Amino acid sequence: MGVSDNIMQKAVSDSDPELWQLLKDEKSRQRKGLEMIASENFTSLAVLQCLSSCLHNKYSEGLPGRRYYGGNEVIDKVEILAQQRSLEAYGLSPEEWGVNVQPYSGSPANFAVYTGLLQPHDRIMGLDLPDGGHLTHGFMNAQKKISASSIFFESMPYKVDQQTGLIDYDKLAENARLFKPKLIIAGISCYSRTLDYKRFRQIADENGAYLMGDMAHISGLVAAGVIPSPFEYCDVVSTTTHKTLRGPRAGVIFFRKGQKSIDKNGKTVMYDIESKINDAVFPSLQGGPHNHAIAAIATAMKQATTPAFREYQQQVVANARQLCSSLQGLGYEIVTGGTDVHMVLVSLANFKLSGAKAEFILEEVEIACNKNTVPGDKSPMNPSGIRLGTPALTTRGFKENDIVQVAAFIHSALSIAIEAQKLSGPKLVDFKEVVHKNDVISSKIAQLKEEVENFAQNFPLPGYEEY
C-alpha cells in the first residue's frame, strides 16, 4: 500500500462528490455575490497553489537553522524567504527589524505579543470593541471577560468621541496616566480613519509602555504607502495577511531589534524583544508552523512590492470614498463623516433599523457585510450599524462607477427592510418571517437578488475556475 493507492491519487471531485459540490457552491456564491465584509478578500492563484502544496506535509518546530525535526533544509529556505520579503514589503532594515512569520492568524499573533512582552495581569489599553477595536485588544463587558486578552491581562479601553466618532487621544492620555499600562495597542477592527501613531508613541513613552501596532486591516494599504505606517513609532507590529494584504489566512509579527537608545551614562541600550516574541510563538503558544501558509506569505509579500499592488490599494481607498459619498447622498450617516481607508461604517439609527436586520436583508440579495456597533451603542449583539469594505470588490476590478451601482443596490435592499419592519415590528425573528413569507416583500427581494447576481457575474474572480 502506498502513493499508488487509488484513494491517495483521486481528486476530491471523484473521491468525495458531496464535498466537491459544496466547494463549487461556495465558488458560485462568491462569483454571484458582492463581498463587502471589510476583512475579506480574494487571494491570488499563486497563494492558493502554495496552500495546496507538499509543504503542508512537513513538521518544522523551531526557527530556520534551529529545528526540532530533521529534513527541513528546504523549509528553512522558504521561511527565510518569507521573512526577507516581509521586511522588504514594508521597507524595513533587517538591522532594525525582525519578523516572525509563523503565527497561525491575527488573534494568535496578538496573544503571542502579549505573552512575550507581558506577565499575567500586566495592564493593556486598546480601542474598545464597540468603538472600532478588536476582541483581542482586551475586550470585556460588565458581566464577563470576553477575550483571553482580558482574562489573562488587566485591560482598560480607550474610546472615541461620541459626537465625531474619532479616537479621543486626550482622554487616552489622561486615563493612561492613571492606569499605567505596560502596553498600548494602536489598532482597529472597524475605524475608518488613519491613526496618529506619533501621539500614541508620546503617550506610551510618558507611561513607560510598549507600543504595539495591529495593522491587520490596513497592512496592504501600509505596504503600498497610501496611508501612514506604524513602523516609525511602534515597538511591535502585528498583522494578518489575508485582508487588504490579499495573502493567505495567516499572521505575522514584526519587532524592533538593534540599538534602542543611549542611557544617561552614555551606554548603548539594545532592544530585547526578538527572543521574547519568537519564544512566545513557539514553544509557548504554537506547535508546528504551517509551512504551506508561510510559502503563501512569501509570494503575497512579493506581490505587495509591485506597481500593480500599489494601484490596487489606491483603488481600494478610492472605491471606499465613493461608497461613502454615494451612501451619504442617499441619506445615510457615515460614522466619522468619511473614510481614509478601505472601510465605511454606516449608522442606521436615523432609519430605526438595526444592524442585524440590515445584514440579514443584504445577505438575502447576495450582498455580504456584517452588523457592527456605532458610537453610543450599548450592546455588540444588537448594534445600530453595518460595516462595509471595498478590498474584495476592488480585487474583482470594481471602479468608482461600479461602486455607485453597489450603493444603489444597498439602498434598495435597506428600503425593502424598512418596509418589512413596518409589517413585522421590532423583533428580528418576526422580521425574518415577513421577509420569507410575505409575497410582496419576498418578490421584491427575489427581483433585487437577480439584479445583483447578474451585475456581479460581470466581474472575474481570481483563483481556480471551479473552486
Nearest of 97, 21, 37, 103 to residue 289 by alpha carbon: 103
| Distance separating the N- and C-terminal Cα atoms of the chain | 30
Buried b (16+ CB within 10 A) or exposed e, 360-388: bbbebbbbbbbbbbbbebeebeebbbbbb
CA distances from 27 to 45, 184, 371, 432 (A): 14, 40, 24, 26
Write phi, then psi, for 387 (nearest 5 degrees). Answer: -105, 130
Asked whether the beta carbons of 269 and 263 are under 8 A apart, the reply is yes
Antiparallel, parallel or unpaired: β 367-368 and 34-35: parallel
Whether residue 242 lies in the annotated active site = yes
Which residue among 50, 190, 234, 369 is the active-site one? 190
In angstroms, rounded to a whole number, what is the distance separating the alpha carbons of residues 417 and 357? 7
3-state secondary structure 53-94: CHHHHCCCCEECCEECCCCCHHHHHHHHHHHHHHHHHCCCCC
User: Can you tell me which residue has the cell 514584526?
Assistant: 254
Asked whether the beta carbons of 149 and 136 are under 8 A apart, the reply is yes
Which residue among 137, 242, 290, 342 is the active-site one? 242
Residue type, 8: M
* Helix orientation angle between 428-437 and 355-364, rounded to the nearest 10 degrees: 20
Cα-Cα-Cα-Cα torsion 230, 233, 237, 243, nearest 10 degrees, comes to: -10
Asked whether the beta carbons of 218 and 342 are under 8 A apart, the reply is yes
As to burial, measured by CB atoms within 10 angstroms (0-12 exposed, 13-18 middle, 19+ buried), residue 422 is: exposed
Write phi, then psi, for 218 (nearest 5 degrees). Answer: -110, 10
Which residues are catalytically annotated? 190, 242
